[in-house]
Amino acid sequence: MDQTEAKNQIDALRTQLNHYNYHYYVLDNPTVSDFEYDQKMQELIRLEEQFPELRTEDSPSMRVGGEPLDAFEKVQHEIPMLSLGNAFSEDDLRDFDRRVREGLEIENVNYVCELKIDGLAVSLRYENGRFTQGATRGDGQTGEDITHNLKTIRSIPLRIDETDTIEVRGEAFMPQKSFIHLNEKKEENGEEPFANPRNAAAGSLRQLDPKIAAKRNLDIFLYAVGQWEAGTLSSHSERLKYLKELGFKTNPETKRCDGIEEVIDYVNSWVEKRPNLNYDIDGIVIKVDRLDYQEQLGYTAKSPRWAIAYKFPAEEVVTKLFDIELSVGRTGVVTPTALLEPVKVAGTTVQRASLHNEDLIQEKDIRIGDTVVIKKAGDIIPEVVRVLVDQRTEEQQPFRMPTECPSCGSELVRLEEEVALRCINPSCPAQLKEGLIHFVSRNAMNIDGLGEKVIQQLFEADYVHTISDLYRLEKDKLLELERMGEKSVDNLLRAIENSKENSLERLLFGLGIRYVGSKAARTLAEHFEEIDQLINASFDDFVAVDEIGEKMADSIVRYFSEQQVLELIDELQGLGLNMSYKGPKKSDQPEDSPFMNKTIVLTGKLEIYSRQDAKQQIEALGGKVTGSVSKKTDLLIAGADAGSKYDKAKQLDITIWDEQQLKEALESRG
């Protein structure tokens, strides 16, 4: 067989397999047996192996392939993926309608109602008809590149009949059948089952190995168009129809409604029908249909004014509260938790519910042994709503918070203007353990292999009590721990050693200073640069820094005034931990930098730099690194095997450098 004949056969097989996929996964109407499908797929794989030059990224055989990733790359959303405002009642919906009509100065508005799928919001980008990138919503501005996992969702087409660049948005989810099957497997393997389909879907799409995601049988409904420069359609309903024509899976229950009363009828009908679906929904999304009306209404800082999410009333169930457990958090707050007889709520089994604090327990007169009503607030956090007092007997026992810490026995205090009781003993074991878990976490020192279970083991073995003990761990002792082989111990010790080189902001966040989150830690580290300058700074010095308020400033000053803290810093410094800021500094950014105020995209395989290193160096010189090419891109840096981003940059006449040019530019500023 020559190459021309092979190409014709490969093209025919791809067309057939795409047709089969569409009918099976999008239309739910199989047109061929599994055996015949598998035969065609094996034939395609055989031909592509025989003629590797004919293999393409949009081939049906490429749904699951390649090696696991080391980490997810960040993706900048050209158009932010905003969250929606919420409505909880018919009055809220009518109030939304009133605001819309007043904003448009008209009497009646047509809306589109869509089921609010309880999954993970994602963005899919197509260039010249090919699926080139998929990303999570993230914080709305920046998500993570999960293209390799999204390719495993069979209802996502790898090629569409649309030559213009188009970015579409939808909700990836796990059908109930897949969720039940997955949890059965987990239980058979002695693993913790997923709490609900949403968590299972999110966990699946954040797997670094696409083969794991492929086994989870996820699905998707597309509900919006994001970036589409060539789009000429005038309404949201027309866009949904066009998405369906392109081969995307859209929700068949979507309805166009004439006015808010028709919307309310639609919402009420789904309150009853909700349990009959094969996937979870937690509400209804209502959008103004006409796109020019959407544009006229505009946006607030957080959400569009032309859309709202109606949230279903939380399901309430009755169960028995048989005990109240106390836990001590990282900051010393003692939190009571209700222990319940297991009960199903909103599709998941609940055995615990938050009681928040002593005042709430007294206010609701919650007693041990009570029959209580619980619900999931926002379908997420279980809470005790009320006590069924008429079912009380003489067996129920009133609950009183202790006066001493349940972990260390120190006296509990209630600080001024606080409801919570707090243990202020800095040596409290529970606080120390929670503090260690926080210190090694991803956004803090990011010590791979030191998860909660390992910290618990180390604590129980009496190997660690303070942060500095982590840096004194010995190989022989670690090998004595359960499930700690030589390879995992070597990896762990290497990760601990590598963490010593982290920039100051990671250490600051890891220390757990009250009110100092990861963003504030970065701001402080960038401003003061050295730990000693932070220690010696005054309250006035802190409040003079942008984004540092009085409450945070007071907390930082108090923290560094503690003798134990100063001794800990000295210990860590003596153990070799970096105490300086290593990130890009505004003062260091030369105005003549070739990257200053420019938007830069990295693509292909870089050989001189890691992608993260290149990104950091570019940002240190005033550049902004994003994940996708657009008209706003100033420069593309292309490594080996650069693909669609390179083609797009050429199309848009964007300056393109190779890695050697990047090296020369960076070294000239070094």
Q: How many CB atoms lie within 10 A of CB 605?
A: 11
Distance (Å, rounded) from C-alpha 150 to C-alpha 75? 15
Q: Which residue's structure tokens are 């929904």?
A: 281
CA distance 27 to 248: 10
116 as an active site residue: the answer is yes
Cβ neighbourhood burial of 507 (10 Å; 0-12, 13-18, 19+): buried
CA distances from 170 to 19, 249, 352, 452, 626 (A): 22, 9, 33, 33, 22
Number of other CB atoms surrounding residue 335 within 10 Å: 15
For residues 578 and 502, the answer to whether their CB atoms sit within 8 Å is yes
The type of residue at 101 is R
Q: With 0-12 CB in 10 A as exposed, 13-18 as middle and 19+ as buried, what is 38?
A: exposed
Sequence-distant (≥ 6) Cβ neighbours of residue 574 within 8 angstroms? none
Q: Would you say 610 and 659 are in contact if contact means Cβ atoms under 8 Å apart? A: no
Q: How many C-beta atoms surround the C-beta of residue 33 within 10 A? A: 9
What DSSP assignment string belongs to 136-196?
E-TTSSEEEB-HHHHTT-TTS-SB-S--S-EEEEEEEE--HHHHHHHHHHHHHTTPPPPSS
**Rounded to an integer, what is the distance from CA 510 to the centroid of its chain?**
20
Give counts: helices (H), strands (E), the chain: 25, 24
Residue type, 461: A
Dihedral (Cα; 327, 466, 449, 333), 10-degree rounding = 20
Nearest to 305 by CA among 84, 466, 107: 84
Measure the CA–CA gap between 159 and 166, rounded to whole angstroms. Answer: 12
Residue owning tokens 């905003």: 82
Q: Report helix, strand and coil shares of the chain as percent, to nearest 5.
A: 40, 20, 40
How do strand 635-638 and strand 655-658 relate by DSSP bridges?
parallel
Q: Using the structure block, give the residue that is written with the tokens 């097989």.
A: 13
Which among 170, 160, 168 has a CA at the least distance from the CA of 233?
A: 168
Instruction: Quote the strand ranges of 228-333, DSSP E.
Output: 255-258, 281-288, 307-311, 316-328
| Euclidean distance between CA atoms 121 and 171, whole angstroms | 5
Sheet (strand 635-638) strand order: 624-626, 599-603, 635-638, 655-658
Q: At what angle do helices 90-104 and 260-273 cross, to 10 degrees?
A: 150
Catalytic residue among 40, 116, 249, 433: 116
Q: Return the DSSP state at 304.
A: B
Distance CA 26, CA 670 (A): 54
Per DSSP, 379 falls in state T
Q: Judge whether 357 and 336 are in contact, CB under 8 Å.
A: yes
Q: What does the alpha-carbon distance between residue 511 and residue 435 come to, in Å, rounded to a whole number?
A: 8
**Number of residues assigned to the chain:** 670
Instruction: Give me the active site residues, please.
Output: 116
